[in-house]
Chains A and B, each alone.
Chain A
Amino acid sequence: MDHTTYSNAYISDILQSVKTIALVGASAKEVRPSYFVMKYLLDKGYKVIPINPGMAGKELLGQMVYASLSDVPEPIDMVDIFRNSDAAGPITDEALTLDPLPKVIWMQLSVHNEEAAAKAEKAGLKVVMDRCPKMEYGKLSGEWARVGGSTGNISSKKQSMHESGKMQSLGLAPK
């Protein structure tokens, strides 16, 4: 499929259907985007499993860190890649050896790997490239509008609050 634009429906379907996200390239540095995203996704109720060989066996934001995807002892719904475009190739290859297979390969802002995307799609996975799940969640939930973002949605329904009470959410908590 074409990866230059994604419909709201495509992204929202992914964000509503996945529950467990392996975040490859997790960082303990509080100023890294990967840390922002991990904390945000945890706040939204996702289970986030950090992957970082240098921190394996330690905890990050209360979650056990693993050295690689293959070490994770439970099924992964989505692999979120916080590494460069070249590294996305072998990470996707490893993801495709998992049993059960993940449902989604998500590559972060500025990460593109067409070859990896094609392999994953051939295996029946959905692929998102060059996007950030925090920003996409923020757009779909309307939170983006709080910082002047154009959300991509209009609605005449009353906005509902996210169950955490922290954020507005249009029922975008994981299904």
Chain B
Amino acid sequence: MSEQDYGFDTLAIHAGAQPDPATGARATPIYQTTAYVFDDADHAADLFALRSFGNIYTRIMNPTQAVLESKVAALEGGTAAVATASGHAAQLLVFHALLNPGDEFIATRQLYGGSINQFNHSFKSFGWKVAWADADDVSSIAAAVTDKTKAIFIESIANPGGRVNDIEAISEVAKKAGIPLIVDNTLATPWLCKPFDHGANIITHSLTKFIAGHGNSMGGIIVDGGNFDWGKDGKYPMLSEPNSSYNDIKLYETFGNIAFAITCRVLGLRDLGPAISPTNAFNILTGMETLSLRMERHCENTQKVAEWLEANDKVEYVNYAGLKSSPYYDLAQKYTPRGPGAVFTFGLKGGYEAGVKVVSGVNLLSHLANVGDTRSLIIHPASTTHSQLTPEQQSKAGAGPELVRLSIGIENVDDIIADLDQAIG
């Protein structure tokens, strides 16, 4: 029986996680080691030359991490995955594999504020240029394509705006331009949305959020869709051209449909170094076993909280794609039929001050900068995550002064609503 025949929950528990070959341990052990002995000199040479699959050094691979990678690859329907220290590290490795100095990529403005910072500021010092486009206007994405454009980056469900993107329409633009579509699937998780089914070529995640799910471990991952031809036009030299740090092997020619993941590992992790810790990989694996159960409850609670807020007369608007009033309702029905996640925003009639009052007044919800925890979380982006952006960028990113972001947890929903009720006043 092959993996395609198993259901999501079976894969979430079993994929990649066979009993340990050395001890028979049923749960995946934490391989807390930095290095691995070689059998002999020939074995060592084969590993270093990439002729064999095996363990060398934990900056590049680790058996606990490998279980996590196989599992996420299976759940997303990809060919292989590479786990990293954080979601941002995953994004860094993806662009490091694709871009040379002077190259460009297109990203939609409606992104997690941290990604906007990473692309605008840190990436500039690598000579990588981001061109911003509007996720709601696919023609603006097409118009931003130049002969230097190497990729398009979007979020499936955008943080923090409660919007769902038209992945298929955007993937058509990418196909026409002959470049890969990268989808950050953090807020959806593969339980709610499967971007590879809609034309994505690479998926990234911050595992820190719903996939780990318990607010206790940092991690990120890159999933290779195995569905892009890296060799066709020499646009991606790290994949298609001889690599002098590996005796001139060509990674795409050698590794075919896992070449992108291999490149991120043997060049990205090896040289940039953002390895996930084995203990964090273990914590994330434990969280993942209940992914669908948690996501079901997250979505059920979120729908109720959003409906309650929409009926509250101190609330000006609610941006949740599960509400019929949302302009993204139809896209959500198509791309996230089980629910458009648990992160959304609402605006208070009282503006900036009212936002500050709510985050100060909550007792059950936690005021912090994170999403995707079992606990319900609240933040006022204008004074925190989006404070580095100009007011125009804040509004374009969907984070104006009156706006509050929620990440609804899996507590009893009546308690979440009661806490918001007393804090809004």
Closest B residue by C-beta to A144: B53
Give every chain A residue within 8 A of B308 (Cβ-Cβ): none
Contact among B18, B52, B78, B81 for A142, CB-based, below 8 A: B18
Q: How many residues of A contact B (CB 8 A)?
A: 39
In contact, A150 and B51 (Cβ under 8 angstroms): no
In contact, A145 and B254 (Cβ under 8 angstroms): no
Stretch at the interface among B65-73, B108-116, B198-206: B65-73
User: Is A157 interfacial (CB 8 A cutoff)?
Assistant: yes
Q: How far is the CA of A41 from the CA of B277 in the complex (A)?
A: 33
Contact among A147, A161, A167 for B66, CB-based, below 8 A: A147
Q: List 23 A-B contacts (CB under 8 A).
A: A8-B2, A31-B49, A31-B248, A31-B249, A36-B51, A144-B70, A145-B16, A146-B53, A146-B54, A147-B80, A147-B261, A147-B262, A148-B65, A148-B73, A148-B261, A149-B80, A150-B16, A150-B70, A154-B18, A158-B19, A160-B21, A165-B39, A166-B39
Give every chain A residue within 8 A of B69 (Cβ-Cβ): 145, 148-149
Q: How far is the CA of A46 from the CA of B189 in the complex (A)?
A: 42
Give every chain A residue within 8 A of B366 (Cβ-Cβ): none
Give every chain B residue within 8 A of A110 (Cβ-Cβ): 256
User: Is B3 interfacial (CB 8 A cutoff)?
Assistant: yes
In contact, A157 and B18 (Cβ under 8 angstroms): yes
A165 CB to nearest B CB, Å = 6
Chain A binding surface, main DSSP class: loop
List 4 A-B pairs, minimum CB-CB distance, nearest first: A148-B69, A150-B73, A159-B21, A154-B14
Q: How far is the CA of A160 from the CA of B19 in the complex (A)?
A: 10
User: Is A156 interfacial (CB 8 A cutoff)?
Assistant: yes
User: Is B403 interfacial (CB 8 A cutoff)?
Assistant: no
Give every chain A residue within 8 A of B248 (Cβ-Cβ): 31
B28 CB to nearest A CB, Å = 11
Q: How far is the CA of A117 from the CA of B49 in the complex (A)?
A: 33
Query: Interface 1/0s, chain A 132-175, versus B by CB < 8 A?
Result: 10010010001111111111111111111100011110000000
In contact, A154 and B21 (Cβ under 8 angstroms): no
Q: How far is the CA of A156 from the CA of B249 in the complex (A)?
A: 37
Do A30 and B3 form a contact, CB below 8 Å, given A36-B254, A148-B80? no
User: Is B247 interfacial (CB 8 A cutoff)?
Assistant: yes
Do A7 and B2 form a contact, CB below 8 Å, given A144-B80, A150-B79? yes
User: Is B401 interfacial (CB 8 A cutoff)?
Assistant: no
In contact, A143 and B3 (Cβ under 8 angstroms): no
A32 CB to nearest B CB, Å = 8
In contact, B14 and A135 (Cβ under 8 angstroms): no
Query: Interface 1/0s, chain B 236-268, versus A by CB < 8 A?
Result: 000000100011110001111010011001000
Do A156 and B16 form a contact, CB below 8 Å, given A31-B249, A150-B81? no
Closest A residue by C-beta to B247: A31
B129 CB to nearest A CB, Å = 30
User: Is A39 interfacial (CB 8 A cutoff)?
Assistant: yes
Q: How far is the CA of A143 from the CA of B51 in the complex (A)?
A: 12
